[in-house]
């Protein structure tokens, strides 16, 4: 078992990109996307100090969209166009405890997998100092997609000095084989745990 100390007000839950376009029926559906939502809702009942949800939010013609349908690294079908149905947070995701919705990927010429900064590393979202100002010490990350926005956000949380954990079973992955991404996360100093580890650590004794 892999329990972590009980959740309290110095802990943040970061829910990455649980949006219609990343769920079955969406433009960039990740197979397990819908399955993780009930567990995320249960996690939100723990006494986190802050719960943040990110939203991929692209202008039309965004650089990350495949211009002519040709697959290329970091190019995707058109998805999460700002203020469309696909960009909306899934309506099955509980939102009453979400204190901050952070939109990312809004600049036409640069993508942003991480909640903390753009992919060029030059534009900071302000999330890290905001979490520090809120007294947050640990960040727990879940959501979609494990290999892209979850990984980038978790690595940046750790680099910013937060004790960082990825809730592996509450992340939807593009690939069935998670070994490479787990290695990258561990190399970044991130703990890989399950929702059960957290729920068990919070049971009244
Ligand atoms: C994502 C690809 C493109 C993600 C966002 O949320 O992981 N992946 N935009
Ligand atoms: Zn995107």
For the chain, which residues make up each domain, given as ranges? Answer: 11-203
Catalytic residue among 11, 56, 80, 149: 149
Confidence (pTM): 0.97
Q: Are 113 and 119 in contact (CB under 8 A)?
A: yes
Name the β-bridge partners of 52: 14, 100
**Chain-centre distance of CA 50, in angstroms?**
14
pLDDT tens for the chain, 205 residues long, are: 566 879 999 999 999 999 999 999 999 999 999 999 999 999 999 999 999 999 999 999 999 999 887 888 999 999 999 999 999 999 999 999 999 999 999 999 999 999 999 999 989 999 999 999 999 999 999 999 999 999 999 999 999 999 999 999 999 999 999 999 999 999 999 999 999 999 887 875 4
Torsion angle (degrees, nearest 10) of CA 84, 90, 92, 96: -90
CATH code: domain 11-203 is 3.40.50.850
Catalytic residue among 11, 17, 21, 156: 17
User: How far, in Å, is the centroid of ligand 1 from the Cα of 173?
Assistant: 11
If phi over 0 gives left and psi between -120 and 50 gives alpha, with beta otherwise, what is residue 80?
left
């Amino acid at each position: 078992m892999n329990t972590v100390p009980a959740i309290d007000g110095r802990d943040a839950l970061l829910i990455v990109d649980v949006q219609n376009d990343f769920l079955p029926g969406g433009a960039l559906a990740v197979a397990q996307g819908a399955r993780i939502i009930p567990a995320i809702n249960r996690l939100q009942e723990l006494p986190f100090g802050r719960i943040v949800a990110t939203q991929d939010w692209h202008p039309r013609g965004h650089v990350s969209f495949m211009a002519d349908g040709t697959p290329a690294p970091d190019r995707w079908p058109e998805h999460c166009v700002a203020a469309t149905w696909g960009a909306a947070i899934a309506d099955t995701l509980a939102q009453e405890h979400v204190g901050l919705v952070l939109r990312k990927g809004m600049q036409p010429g640069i993508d942003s997998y991480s909640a903390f900064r753009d992919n060029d590393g030059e534009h900071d979202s302000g999330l890290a100092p905001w979490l520090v100002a809120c007294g947050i010490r640990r960040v727990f990350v879940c959501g979609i997609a494990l290999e892209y926005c979850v990984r980038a956000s978790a690595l940046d949380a750790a680099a910013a000095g937060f004790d960082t954990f990825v809730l592996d079973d509450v992340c939807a992955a593009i690939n069935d084989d998670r070994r490479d991404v787990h290695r990258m996360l561990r190399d970044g100093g991130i703990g890989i745990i399950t929702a059960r580890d957290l729920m068990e650590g919070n049971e009244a004794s």
